[in-house]
Structure 1
């Protein structure tokens, strides 16, 4: 304050002297400010050096990780942080004398790979290599990082032995789980085959019994009807269990064929309208906003999904109505997105149950299973199938207010109506009467029953081969046109059915390529059908055989030949 007062007094007394004093004060202030800035800079540098020392010491104490700074031109190691000797058995001096000693830690193949990777590395991204170290019996991961200065490379080397062991353990556990899953699927597949074969015989015997009774015993007819219903229920449970198992293991293949959405709607109407109306309910099916009729997908599986929804709607609805709505939502150049909603006015569900409805064997409560039956697998399979198709399911339900199940699908658009119209249609009026059939079947009981049904019920003449080799020999021993068609079991001794079909197709006679051959098999999936077709067969029928369906389908081929 005294200096300032003196300055002001001097300025007022002598302007020239005041100016000189003001300049001296400004210079002094600038020097003070510069000194302060230098002091702050020095303090910051000291702090930075302190941080660097702390960081370097911390790195030097790393037991399982090392950082190396290399000169890029000759890979000369300049600086190391971390316990290099403890991790590699090498010192910085060892590597500076000869960098080749580092490559001797790994196998010759890994060393060659690393050298090539370093030569080809464009430094745009980190370079990584995991290798087994000969020193210390451990797995090391090397990561090359581009340094800020392009003349240098930063290497990070760390011990990943524990991580590697965990990965190997997890891989082992995964393989064991997959092996167990495969074993389960194979077991279920074998059991399915073993169960379907006797069911085929049981159904055949019931058909023969009904035929021979000729309606003479109404009570026996009723028992047969109940037995057939139970047989179909048992078969549906087997199908559901095997379906779910194969879906979970990724063995289910979806067909990609063009089909008619409106024909699918008509199929659902014909299957459910009478049943629904017989319960005193209204049935309504409609299409909204559709500009696309034909799509590409697995029609059988989509039908299976909607059948599950409709079956549950019929089961749990005692008054009101059931409606099915197809609605187109969006169309691009080659894809159509649409929904199918099945709505009922039934008993509805507790919202808490909706969260678990798609889990296997889940039903809302024990009374549901006792009152309505069911295995609790249908919805789990439905959910898995929709996921396989890349679709989604929405459920809206409240107790006493009914339920709405909506499936959203996104499918490629299908062929034009003209092309789809060319597809074969089943012929209902075709008859086996007077037809000569070669049947290959190794199960004696099933062979006897099939022969009885085809001859007594359908009027055909059947000759039996007990394995594929016999079937080939019997076909070869007769002239062209002797057999109208061949029914070929798939799993047989000596020669299986698919091999027999390929052998027949390869025979040097004109009719070998055109003879109709149909697979009869306890293997009932689309991939089984595909394998039969690839083997040269014209179709695939799963056991238990529906002989009316077989007759209609075989008739389709005969009609096609007559029209052609």
Structure 2
């Protein structure tokens, strides 16, 4: 809708600085460059742009470009959902419409799905599955529910099933603020609402990658104690650095720190061979991130550059970060907030 334009002017519409009359820029602003830029971009993409306009009524623009599948779409198209068809799924949400919608998507994907409308009912259903020797493999639980919210439900479920069941929190809200509490309660993944088929396929792909790629150290037998081995701890957050250093020193490790990847690289390159026994590397840091630092360490001309254990630490250990860290030359991947026992077990495995 708008003022439209004459047939004569439409022939010059996509030329730079062209406007139908001098009053246009005074009344509406602009310089007559916007559509010229659009035309240029569309042409560069091998497409076309056309206009149909009626004075006093408005204008309709049509852009025609050829687009291929994005890498993400191609991956979704070729994702083998058959790998997950034996999984038993429970949906927990106080909104019955969400439950039915999610169940329909699951059925369409060939998965077995049940639903309940409260946290208490979810716990009873999980107990029933255990009794009948038909446990649930995945539980999708809404974050905001009356009486028993998603985190409380996840904690109760985790007490019953241990690590055997994957717990996914569904939320329409920003979940970063509650992530630490949720992880401690036993939540493995997060997914945003409203649920779409593509998002659920993404989730199942992450679950599949997670089961194949996430490093699980062997359970250490007895109390783990070290004998002064030197660790380079790379972390830009001062509080995280202080807490991690204290935990490690309590176990008999010697700690040296760096506040970003570049500083870590400089310390490694300037010390003798074998000076550090392992590197604990945060992924997201200013100046140089952990991935780039790890790649540079592996490329450095020093005899232990290829062998020193580099262990990633990140708040996002359940997506492509796992794959990226391995590709950068890291040996293992730990999720934040760090589980001290898992951290010690990983270090014992590699040192």
Query: What's the TM-score, normalizing by structure 1?
Result: 0.32
Higher helix content, 1 or 2:
1
Query: What's the TM-score, normalizing by structure 2?
Result: 0.48
Give the number of the structure whose alpha-carbon radius of gyration is greater: 1
